[in-house]
Structure 1
């Protein structure tokens, strides 16, 4: 079910993609309305990463169309409107020589200028971004000294510091202690509600996150489901297993 009340930030229309003869996406159409929190789910090899790369302009379209903020992706230039946090973002070793402040400030390089000095307003943006993810007070710590969950919060702050309208997160709980996963999703839900930022979350942990998201899209080469989270909850085990290509049971964790 599409949300027609708000304009779509992303419009994907009839996308297909293949590597050599391997078809990874087949006729995928998907709209993401402004202010949505979309969970993109599916088994390994289902095409989720390829779809993200197409939306981020990292792969060239082979067929179909993509519009970002109403503009054809081939003409789109305002990439500062889109923040991205990859699942590899928190793979720092303890000797990495950068403070939390420096990591977040690196998200402003384009606005500050490569060889220019940051100004007071840039410092304030960094501190605001750290505050929004609950990491204010950690700005002088070395990024490599933090836990996986703390590092991932810092990288969300780095993505948020340029004030994007859309934030895409690819498996962001990889490396996050299981005890802190719920807290992490709580943070994303609050960011979505308080700031109105549109979120796309690629996750395998759909049972834990469905009480936070507004929409779910299930991808397995083609799009098997796209609707609101309530509709997704109403699917039975047989329907879910058909989507995933394997037996699956949806378990919702309400805290």
Structure 2
């Protein structure tokens, strides 16, 4: 009898995200096993219990998912998981804290598509502002965009925190090839004067740009919002926007919704 497909799902939080569980089951995993309140020093033991109990053939039907809310911690746990495997006892492992990496990848790809197909442009040399960028989605979107050649600024409520997060992602994920900057919401009017694209990655229900700020952005080409909870993160842009013009934009900007 073939061994069933088992996905072990680790999180540092007290509950596994229902979103992550739904995605796993809908993707076809037969058994989804949650592990909550996981400490970093517990990862090695959990991984080795998972790999050595199924044999070289069984590990091919076994995988590890690392969730949680903290990007840095999730990546540290993923690194430990990889180091804990002993060939041929190796399983696929994937980290996606807060769904940040997959969400950011989809958003950046959609914006790049808009730039290429609607604005005869690309991410290379593009000035991008990541509002609410100190969180996991914003961090991932900033890194992906910067690695594609964009000039990226993480914008948050606190200047010190934005600059600290920018420094952290440059060092951890930038491979010395990124120069992501950090700035504050208080300066958004000035920042919008040279923005080609903006990402709204703040918490659900928080609007980061109003109609006036969109109207007064002279070179804005694309705006993307991952927020599906009203009010929209960017005025005039809703969850169903799929490359259509943003009402009130004087630069002809198009929008990408959640």
TM-score computed with the length of structure 1 as normaliser: 0.29
Which structure has greater helix proportion? 2
Which structure has greater strand proportion? 1
TM-score computed with the length of structure 2 as normaliser: 0.29
Where relative contact order (Cα < 8 A, 6+ residues apart) is larger, the structure is 1
